[in-house]
Amino acid sequence: MYQRNVEFAEYNEVSKTWFVKARNANSGEVEEYYAKFLVVATGETTNPYTPAIEGLDTFPGKVIHSTQFKSGKEFQNKNVLVVGSGNSGMEIALDLVNHGAKTSIIVRSPVHFLSREMVYWAVIMSKYFQLSLVDSLTVMLSKLVFGDLTKYGITRPTEGPFYTKVKYGKYPVIDVGVCKKIKSGEIQVLPAEIVSIRGNDIQFKNGKLHPFDSIVFCTGFKRSTNLWLKGDEFLLNEDGIAKPSYPNHWKGKNGLYCVGLSRRGLYGAGADAQNIANDIKSIMQCPP
């Protein structure tokens, strides 16, 4: 659907079809559709997510999500907190410090730091070797290049970077210079989560209090599929991600499918689309 916002979708057991209500983004009118198959391809990055934090509404400075971030230039000489340590959080922290902001970043979870070259060679090796071996070699190389980061408040996961990506959908951090800034102290790592906010002061779980002028939330996205897709208890979870394990994650019941909701990137979405097309083709070719 193009320029349509789906508001309701449910499978009709009597007619054996999907009934969908969608609002036309241009006219505002509600349109109704009926189909034998329903493919959910709403993506993993649908709605920017900002966590509910006590006192956030009292913060007088600028508060934005990473999707609203354009440049660190406007934060020059500001004391900025970046919440979230994925690739977007790390890159935004680097841009902030490069533009003269006093930058801190919350890193609560263990992180794999890799270079682009490491990822390139790992992808090649994965064609010939088991994932466990590729992970072991990549982690070894990462330790040689980036060293021990625990004294800076960053630990490595116990599981390898590519196993973590496949199992949890969590990407390793591709270093573009942020590691050097962390080691130099230009970017301060805060290892504790936020408890509350009172004005400019932010209280952390470790008991420490830090003042900030601005906050950038790099806290990912939430899917809204569960708000409009009714009657599905098999294919998608409450967060709009596929429930079944790979590689059988793309097919549900009653002609329901999903594309790109297994945290496997563009390659995974392409494979999903091909599998779904083939499955629908085989169903349509079967005699009634």
What pLDDT digit, counting tens, does each position of 156-176 carry?
999 999 988 877 778 899 999
Q: Examine the pLDDT at 196 and tell me if it is beyond 80.
A: yes
C-alpha span between 171 and 17 (Å, rounded): 38
pTM of the model: 0.81
Checking DSSP bridges between strand 62-65 and strand 214-217, what pairing results, if any?
parallel
pLDDT value for 265: 75
In 99-177, which residue ranges form alpha helices assigned H by DSSP?
116-125, 131-146, 161-168
Sign of CA dihedral 158, 93, 143, 172: positive
Residue 28 burial by Cβ neighbours in a 10 Å radius (0-12, 13-18, 19+): exposed
pLDDT value for 15: 93
Q: Which of the two residues, 106 and 269, has the higher pLDDT score? A: 106
Q: Which of the two residues, 22 and 231, has the higher pLDDT score? A: 22
pLDDT value for 288: 63
Number of neighbouring beta carbons within 10 Å of residue 11: 19
Question: Residue 87 corresponds to which tokens in the numbers above?
Answer: 């690739």
Angle at 50 between CA 182 and CA 96, to 5 degrees: 30
Backbone angles phi, psi at 277, to 5 degrees: -60, -45
The answer to whether 16 touches 38, Cβ cutoff 8 Å, is no
In tens, the pLDDT along 69-97 reads 999 999 999 999 999 999 999 999 999 99
Mean pLDDT of 30-34: 95
pLDDT value for 167: 78
Q: Examine the pLDDT at 256 and tell me if it is beyond 80.
A: yes
Question: Residue 275 corresponds to which tokens in the numbers above?
Answer: 């599998």
List of domains in the chain:
4-46+223-285 (3.50.50.60), 48-220 (3.50.50.60)
Rg (CA), the chain: 22
Q: Examine the pLDDT at 45 and tell me if it is beyond 80.
A: no
